[in-house]
Amino acid sequence: MKVNVYTPKSILVGYFVDPKIESFPDGDYEISGEFHTAEGDKATKVEFNPQALPYNVDLSEAGLAQKKLHRVYVQRGRQPVVMTGHASA
């Protein structure tokens, strides 16, 4: 399973391969696992800046009721990468 991560302008940043996905009652999600760049290379570090625009995540392949996340931020930039986001309305 691939979980793609995009910029707000729908440019592919990279993707998780078979990530662990946790959901929380308030609509928040945590995604963690092996992250690859858009070119397919395993990322050594994902840069993150809290002031930067947040990412969007496509959960279509995950088989969950929720298909899209927005306001997704990197919580841990080294492997295994951890991101958190909020379910789209």
How confident is the model over 49-64, as pLDDT tens digits? 666 779 999 999 888 7
The per-residue pLDDT for range 2-47, each reduced to its tens digit, is 999 999 889 999 999 999 999 998 889 999 999 999 999 999 988 7
Give the model confidence (pLDDT) of 64-84 as tens digits.
Answer: 778 899 999 999 999 999 999
33/17 Cα distance (integer angstroms): 7
- What is the domain count for the chain? 1
- The pTM (predicted TM-score) of the whole model is 0.91
What does the pLDDT read at residue 64? 79
DSSP for 20-62 reads: EEEE-TTSEEEEEEEEEETTSPBPSB----TTSPPEEEE-GGG
